[in-house]
Amino acid sequence: MTHLYADSLLTDSLTKFADVVAAVLIFFAVLLIIFFAAGRAAGRLARPATIVAFLGPAILLLLVGLVLPALRTIVLSVENDDSTSFIGAKNFQWAFTSDTIHQVLANTLLWIIVAPVLATLLGLAMAVLVDRLRNQSVYKSLIFMPMAISFVGASIIWKFVYDARDPSLPQIGLLTQIALWLGVKHPPNWILDFPLNNFLLVVIMIWVQTGFAMVVLSAAIKAIPTDILEAVRIDGAQAGQTFFYVTVPMIRNTLIVVLTTVMITTLKVFDIVRTMTGGNFGTQVLANEMYSQSFVQFNNGRGAALAVILFVAVLPLVGYNIVQLRRDRGIR
Amino acid sequence: MRAEVTTEATPEAAPARAVPAVKAIRRAFSSPIASLLVILLTVVWTIPTVGLLVTSLRPAADVATTGWWTFFAHPSLTLDNYQTVLFHSGFGSSGGLFPFLINSIAITVPGTIFPVTIAAMAAYALAWVKFRGSDTIFFIIFALQVVPLQMALIPLLQLFSGTGVQFNGTTVIPGLNIGGTYAPVWIAHTMFAMPLAIFLLHNFIAQLPGELMEAATVDGAGHFRILQSIVLPLSAPALASFAIFQFLWVWNDLLVALTFAGGTPQVAPLTVRLAQLSGSFGSHWEALTAGAFVSMLLPLIVFFSLQRYFVRGLLAGSVKG
């Protein structure tokens, strides 16, 4: 029986890999055919044909996958939940007046303030402090490591840390055990305890994003011209003064970009809440509510309205980052 | 965020060229307290993952009754949890995690190859086959990063599944009916990767020396030959950076997979299954931790072996739609 099962598992996997290989081969075959067809075009048609062959696939994907769906979502957001009639701004009215969504918006606000600020501050502290240690790459790699882990994996890691049992039983969750060691008689059941649970979920986001902030800020600090630091030193500045009056102002733009980038990620993240609580116990956030409305309750209108709200919230942040990047790169 | 600093960005980059000023500041700051803070933070950052790894290697009975930190006093190791979680049914799942692991690989490989290829072609055309409006097109593509992928999910799902795109009750575009296969997930990941991929690769490809292309054109090479034999080999570092970025993104993704793959063992990747399991059998920590570690192993290997490229990609453009 087990033998048969192992057999079917193997065949099953081989079939899947064969599908993947076939798909990749077909993909490249189609590209080759396109190139070949474009190469046959002669004279005045040669250049446009080349452009279409090279740029066409990307443009098509962007139109079908991003531009048109985004426009369609805006239309859906002013229609009812099965998209059969126009209902104006009712979905948005619902989003801003219903009590459950008030909770969601309040939680989301907490997330996008606490997570970016703490992740950036911790990342900055690490970037400055680690520079002076031996084996700094070891510390940096370990702080940076959570970036490689999925939000689902990170959530499971922390769910285990937050595991709580009756205080009389042996504990398996580290946080409860630490609380008991510290003499807390009845530690709360962390994940159920509102509003503390919201902060405990935000901790996961900070845990993941601090490494990102550290790496980017560390690069910015290393790019500060050394003659400036030299001049400041000759003028007799203390290390603390140098940090606050030279380092921080010189990396100000990078600081803001890190802050906004973490904010954008935080605004859109739904995996953590979904894995940790499913949005229960007063922990729901905008991105997860959008998913639930659209794909669990099939309220397309409300889901689309929440997506539009998310888009409008992200817009100024990404807009700022893009302007920054353009200025730095000199993109016309 | 600046291209010029990227070479120094790797955590391995030793401060070899430290001049006296930097040294002085470093010395002034380097108090035992600072070192202690760094070590403390690193330990706090690492302990949760260590706890997960240790738990996944302990016998199930131990995991259920004692904390993982007692392991160091009474060590006993087993790989049974991995065996159970990968291949055995039970815990409300019929086939273990193995099929989902295969799905993760089957989704991630094309989910990385497709966007890298298509974006490299587009980036080359935008950089070296200049035409009227090519700069505008590049900027529009770049600016499309503002669209969160949540904005695209509902209509795309309607397109991929049987419903098709409907407007006021009439079908405008019939559904593609490719639900239940890997195709929607591959296509969605390829679509969503385009703005960042084209932006990153264009920045690199546009800086390649123009004389090379001119010489090749004089020798009679077409654009396809130039792309294949000059541009792609020279862009290997940028392609690697983006490929690693995209690999980690797709492997770790939950939203796209959940929306377009559903939860079946035929198509769903590890992240989807683990998210389900974490809700449904939270008390089986030995299995859940082992499962989580299975999902983390490959990204961690990629991350630690190719950190340099990953950091470069991260610094070049960290706004991902």
Which CATH number goes with the domain that contains A135?
A: 1.10.3720.10
User: In this structure, is residue A278 part of a structural domain?
Assistant: yes
Average pLDDT across chain B, whole number: 83
Apex B83 CA angle, B81 and B88, nearest 5:
100
Gyration radius of chain A's alpha carbons: 26
Q: For residue B164, what pLDDT is reported?
A: 65
Apex A222 CA angle, A221 and A227, nearest 5:
100
- Mean pLDDT is lowest, of A117-121, A310-314, B27-31, B65-69, for B27-31
CB contact under 8 A, A64 and B131: no
Last residue of a domain, one of A76, A111, A133: A76
Q: Dihedral sign for Cα B278, B283, B285, B287, please.
A: negative
- DSSP for residue B72: G
**Residue A225 three-state SS:** coil
Would you say residue B310 has pLDDT above 90? no
Q: For residue A331, what pLDDT is reported?
A: 42
A46 and A152 part of one domain? no
User: In this structure, is residue B22 part of a structural domain?
Assistant: no
Of B26, B69, B125, nearest to A54 by CB-CB distance is B125
CB contact under 8 A, A150 and B48: no
A151 and A63 part of one domain? no
Q: How confident is the model at residue B317 (pLDDT cuts 50, 70, 90)?
A: low
How many domains are there within chain A?
2
CA distance A99 to chain B (A): 23
pTM for this entry: 0.88
CB contact under 8 A, A174 and B165: no
A161 and A222 part of one domain? yes
User: In this structure, is residue B21 part of a structural domain?
Assistant: no
Interface test with B, best of A9, A25, A54, A317 (most B CBs within 10 A): A54
A274-298 pLDDT, tens digit per residue, is: 999 988 899 999 999 999 999 888 8
Nearest CA in chain A to B86: A9
B130 and B216 part of one domain? yes
CB contact under 8 A, B141 and A233: no
CA distance A67 to chain B (A): 8
Phi-psi region of B58 (alpha: psi -120 to 50; beta: other; left: phi over 0): beta
Of B2, B12, B143, nearest to A137 by CB-CB distance is B12
Nearest CA in chain B to A51: B125
B36 and B183 part of one domain? no
A261 and A215 part of one domain? yes
Spell B241-252 as b/e; 16+ CB within 10 A means b: bbbbbbbbbbbb
Would you say residue B45 has pLDDT above 60? yes
Q: For residue B5, what pLDDT is reported?
A: 36
B143 and B290 part of one domain? yes
Instruction: Look up residue A138 and give its two tokens.
Output: 């070891």
CA distance B234 to chain A (A): 18
Give the distance from CA A149 to its chain's centroid: 12
Q: For residue A194, what pLDDT is reported?
A: 86
Structural domain containing residue A190: 93-329
Would you say residue B291 has pLDDT above 50? yes
User: In this structure, is residue A296 part of a structural domain?
Assistant: yes
B91 and B71 part of one domain? no
User: In this structure, is residue B24 part of a structural domain?
Assistant: no
Query: Could you tell me if A62 and B119 are in contact, meaning their C-beta atoms sit under 8 angstroms apart?
Result: no
Quick count: other Cβ atoms within 10 Å of Cβ A330? 6
A250 and A108 part of one domain? yes
Of A54, A125, A238, nearest to B129 by CB-CB distance is A54
Q: For residue A99, what pLDDT is reported?
A: 85
A24 and A159 part of one domain? no
User: In this structure, is residue B281 part of a structural domain?
Assistant: yes
For residues B70-92, give the mean pLDDT: 81
Nearest CA in chain A to B224: A35
B72 and B93 part of one domain? no
Nearest CA in chain B to A63: B191
B223 and B90 part of one domain? yes
CB contact under 8 A, B144 and A324: no
Q: Dihedral sign for Cα A262, A263, A264, A268, please.
A: positive
A58 and A134 part of one domain? no
Structural domain containing residue B214: 3-16+85-316
Domain with B290 in it: what CATH number?
A: 1.10.3720.10
Q: For residue A122, what pLDDT is reported?
A: 96
A321 and A293 part of one domain? yes
For residues B123-150, give the mean pLDDT: 88
Last residue of a domain, one of A28, A47, A76: A76
CB contact under 8 A, B300 and A148: yes
User: In this structure, is residue A86 part of a structural domain?
Assistant: no
Last residue of a domain, one of A47, A76, A105: A76
A86-142 pLDDT, tens digit per residue, is: 888 899 999 888 888 889 999 999 999 999 999 999 999 999 888 777 788 899 999
CB contact under 8 A, A152 and B275: yes
CB contact under 8 A, B51 and A54: no
Q: How confident is the model at residue B1 (pLDDT cuts 50, 70, 90)?
A: very low
Residue B175 is which amino acid? G
User: In this structure, is residue B321 part of a structural domain?
Assistant: no
B188 and B72 part of one domain? no
Last residue of a domain, one of B78, B94, B111: B78
B142 and B230 part of one domain? yes
B255-286 pLDDT, tens digit per residue, is: 999 999 887 888 999 999 999 888 766 578 88
Q: How confident is the model at residue B16 (pLDDT cuts 50, 70, 90)?
A: very low
Q: Which residues of B touch A73 (CB under 8 A)?
A: 151-152, 154-155
Q: For residue A6, what pLDDT is reported?
A: 67
B44 and B139 part of one domain? no
How many domains are there within chain B?
2
Q: For residue B86, what pLDDT is reported?
A: 87
For residues B295-316, give the mean pLDDT: 86
User: What percent of chain A stands above pLDDT 90?
Assistant: 49
CB contact under 8 A, B319 and A155: no
Q: Which residues of A touch B55 (CB under 8 A)?
A: 160
CB contact under 8 A, B15 and A170: no
Average pLDDT across chain A, whole number: 88
User: In this structure, is residue B91 part of a structural domain?
Assistant: yes
- DSSP for residue B144: G
CB contact under 8 A, A222 and B248: no
Q: Which of B92, B187, B192, B119 is nearest to B152 (CA)?
A: B192
Say how many CA atoms lie within 13 Å of A252 toward its Cβ.
5
A234 and A168 part of one domain? yes
Q: How confident is the model at residue A21 (pLDDT cuts 50, 70, 90)?
A: very high
Q: For residue B8, what pLDDT is reported?
A: 37
CB contact under 8 A, B95 and A9: yes
Q: For residue A319, what pLDDT is reported?
A: 80
B63 and B182 part of one domain? no
Q: Which residues of A touch B253 (CB under 8 A)?
A: 150
A253-267 pLDDT, tens digit per residue, is: 889 889 988 998 899
CB contact under 8 A, A150 and B299: yes
Nearest CA in chain B to A280: B279
B231-248 pLDDT, tens digit per residue, is: 999 999 899 989 998 999
Instruction: Look up residue A246 and give its two tokens.
Output: 């030279």
A107 and A234 part of one domain? yes
Would you say residue B148 has pLDDT above 90? no
CA distance A168 to chain B (A): 12
Q: Which residues of A touch B292 (CB under 8 A)?
A: 152-153, 156-157
User: In this structure, is residue B278 part of a structural domain?
Assistant: yes
A60 and A109 part of one domain? no
Q: Which residues of A touch B30 (CB under 8 A)?
A: 132-133
ipTM field: 0.89
B93 and B67 part of one domain? no
Q: Which of B5, B281, B69 is nearest to A170 (CA)?
A: B69
CB contact under 8 A, A310 and B99: no
B166-198 pLDDT, tens digit per residue, is: 655 566 666 677 777 899 999 999 999 999 899
Would you say residue A186 has pLDDT above 70? yes
Q: How confident is the model at residue B27 (pLDDT cuts 50, 70, 90)?
A: low
Q: For residue B13, what pLDDT is reported?
A: 41
Highest mean pLDDT among A148-162, B57-71, B137-151: A148-162
For residues A6-31, give the mean pLDDT: 91
Q: List residues bridging with B166 in a β-sheet.
A: B171
**CA-to-CA dists, residue B63 to A152, A164, B70, B257, angstroms:** 21, 14, 10, 31
Distance CA B144, CA B152 (A): 12
CB contact under 8 A, A9 and B137: no
Count of pairs with CB atoms under 8 A, one residue in A, one in B: 401
Instruction: Look up residue A229 and give its two tokens.
Output: 């630091």
For residues A4-12, give the mean pLDDT: 76
What are the φ/ψ torsions at residue B16 (nearest 5 degrees)? Answer: -70, -35
A176-185 pLDDT, tens digit per residue, is: 999 999 988 8
A263 and A134 part of one domain? yes
A193-209 pLDDT, tens digit per residue, is: 888 999 999 999 999 99
Q: Which of B201, B158, B194, B209 is nearest to B179 (CA)?
A: B158
User: In this structure, is residue B259 part of a structural domain?
Assistant: yes
For residues B74-91, give the mean pLDDT: 81
Q: Which of B296, B69, B276 is nearest to A163 (CA)?
A: B69
